[in-house]
Structure 1
Amino acid sequence: MIISILMVLFAILLGTIGVYLYRHQQRPFLLFDPTNQPALQELLRIGGIALCLMAIVAFVVAWTHVIILICIILLLGCFTSTGILLGLTHFMP
C-alpha cells in the first residue's frame, strides 16, 4: 500500500517536471534561453515528453503492485531525469 502511494507521488513529480520542461521550449527560464538555441528546444521537447510518458506508466505500474515493474520504472525515471539535467548543463552560460 505504501509503495503505491510513493509511486503515485513519484509519478506526479515526473509529470510536473515533464510538463514544466515541455512548456518552456519557447520562453526563457532560469539561466536558459531556448529561443536562441534550437538544440536546447529539442532537449526540452524530448525530455518533457519522455518524463510525461514515464509518469503515465508509473501511475499504471503503481496499481499493479509488481515489484519488478516498479523497480524498472523508478530506475528509468531517475536515469532519464539525470540525463536531462546533465544535458542542460551543456547550455549554461
Structure 2
Amino acid sequence: MLIKLLIVLFLILLITIGILMLTHLDRPFFMFSQSNLPFVQKTMKITAYLLLLTSLMGIIILIWAPLSWNLLTLVLGSVITGAFALLISRAS
C-alpha cells in the first residue's frame, strides 16, 4: 500500500512538472530566455508532453496492471527528465 502511495506522489510530481513547463513556455526558464533560444522552448514543450503522457500511462498501470509494472513509469519518467537536463545543459 505504501508503494502505491509513493507511485501516486511520483505521478503528481510528473504532472506538476509537465504543467509547469507548458505554462512557462513564454517566460524565462532558469537563465534562458525563450525569445533568444527557440531550442529551449521546443525542448520544454516536448518534455512536458512526454511527462504528461507518462503520467497518464502511470495512472492506467496503477489502476489495472500488477504493481511491478510501475517500474516502467518510474524509469520512463526519470529518463525523460534526465534527458531534458542533459539537453538543456548543452544549450547553455
1:55-91 deviation per Cα after TM superposition (whole angstroms, max 9, x unaligned): 1211222223513421111111111111111111122
Aligned alpha-carbon RMSD (Å): 1.4
SS at match of 1:33: coil
Residue 63 of structure 1 is matched in structure 2 by: 63
CA distance in 1, matches of 2:62, 2:5: 8
- Aligned residues with identical type, % of pairs: 29
Alignment TM-score, normalising by the size of structure 1: 0.87
Give 1:36 shift. 1.3
Unaligned runs of 5+ in 1: none
For 1:65 and 1:51, the matched residues in 2 are separated by 19
Deviating beyond 2 angstroms after TM superposition, the runs of 4 or more aligned structure 1 residues are: none
1:1-26 deviation digits (Å, cap 9, x = unpaired): 22211111010000111111122211
Name 2:14's counterpart in structure 1. 14
